[in-house]
Amino acid sequence: MARRTRIAAAKSLWSDSLVKMLRGRRDFKLLESDLEIRHSNGSLIRVDGFDDQERVDKILGTEYLHIFFNEATQISWPTVQTVLSRLAQVVEGAPSHKAIFDCNPKSQRHWLYKAGILHQNPETGEPLPDAAIWSNQHWTPQDNPYLSKDFLATLEAMTGTQRRRMLDGVWCEGEGAVYSEFDEDIHVHKGPMPAGWERWDKVRGIDFGYTNPFVCLWGAIDPDGRLWIYRERYIARQTVQVHAKAINEAEPRGTSFRWTVADHDAEDRATLHEAGIRTQRASKNVESGIKAVKERLKIQPDGKPRLIVCDCCPETISEFFDYAWQPAVDGRNAKEAPIKDRDHAMDPIRYMVMKLDHGRSGWLAIPGHLPVR
């Protein structure tokens, strides 16, 4: 049983659910420090999160009969794919393997809607080869007899998207989008790149991650100064060395880049440098970066925006729709900051736009080498 973070799993799955259900039962032994429950017949229930590499290694080092992903919309598709590889325990006479996902719905662009409802590969849109074994069930808070009347009243008082998602269980587009200007008909380019694009200046933006996805975005700058995002690498649980190799192999040999801006992790940047990928430190001012991206999303006199994303970058497109501002709490105005969720591609988008429009970046100092721009 797992959530995106161990802290959240310990609170909701362990303390608020399992412990209350099983305390006093003599056939179960609760191991608080390990968040494990051992049954007298030898079976084991483990509760954990995916936010620490040591814990992830522990999860991946064991085979399971069933895996329950709690609040699954907070977990990335690459992480789910990796964890599902451990659904391999063989127990004679036991039910067949099951992966169970529960969630409050989000956008219909989310991977869980695509896989669980449409039975499509979230990355390619093609039918899932095992679509026949996927099924879904819909229920609302009113179906839960254990919820208090006060809690239900709170949900019923919600309005708009929050009410549709939290009370009615509807997959729908969110309110409060950071980039409300983003329009798929305007900002998404479908099909091959324009003729001659190979000769345009090329740039890259990188945001490091391991538990969360590592993201590299490739951009090309047309003669009018528009930034075209034409490739993405959006993958979790791989080392920077593996990413560096894939980045180098993504383009024909000899392809040059005007620059590559990256997150500030010196060790990860040094690893890229050793692989021949020279980076500059990105400007990480979120407020300024969002304003700069919004400026590029505006329609210009020629009827086109100055930022275009190709349809071969589905995760980036999805994040443009999901990236949202902090909601108001208890009637107070929300903090002017985006929610730190589904923002992995939004970071390198900001880095690239800030570098293009404001020229803000830094230097990478590596002992024994000249500084790298």
Q: Which domains are seen in the chain, by residue range?
A: 2-103 (3.40.50.300), 184-362 (3.30.420.280)
Looking at every residue in the chain, the average pLDDT score rounds to 88
Write out the two tokens for 362: 């830094």
Instruction: Determine the pLDDT at residue 328.
Output: 65
> Is 0.85 surpassed by the pTM of this model?
no
Pinpoint the alpha helices (H) of the chain. Answer: 6-8, 19-22, 53-60, 77-84, 111-112, 149-156, 160-166, 184-187, 240-250, 266-274, 286-297, 314-322, 346-358
pLDDT value at 372 more than 50: no
**C-beta of residue 259 within 8 angstroms of C-beta of residue 203:** yes
Distances (CA, A) of 356 to 86, 187, 253, 361: 44, 18, 25, 10
Instruction: Determine the pLDDT at residue 329.
Output: 61
Write out the two tokens for 320: 């443009």
192-208, pLDDT tens digit by residue? 999 999 999 999 999 99
pLDDT value at 330 more than 60: no
Which residue is listed with tokens 């008909």?
185
Q: Which residues lie across from 229 on neighbouring strands?
A: 219, 309
230-282, pLDDT tens digit by residue? 999 999 889 999 999 999 999 998 899 999 999 999 999 999 999 999 999 99
Q: Using CB atoms within 10 A of its CB, is residue 21 exposed (0-12), middle (13-18) or buried (19+)?
A: exposed
290-328, pLDDT tens digit by residue? 999 999 999 988 889 999 999 999 889 989 988 888 876
Q: What average pLDDT score do residues 31-54 get?
A: 89
**C-beta of residue 240 within 8 angstroms of C-beta of residue 214:** yes
pLDDT tier, 95 (very low <50, low <70, confident <90, very high otherwise): confident
Instruction: Determine the pLDDT at residue 66.
Output: 95
120-141, pLDDT tens digit by residue? 998 888 999 999 999 999 999 9
- Going by the DSSP 8-state scheme, the letter that residue 113 receives in this structure is I
Burial 137-172 (b: 16+ CB within 10 A, else e): eeeebeeeeeeeeeeeeebeeeeebbebbbbebebe
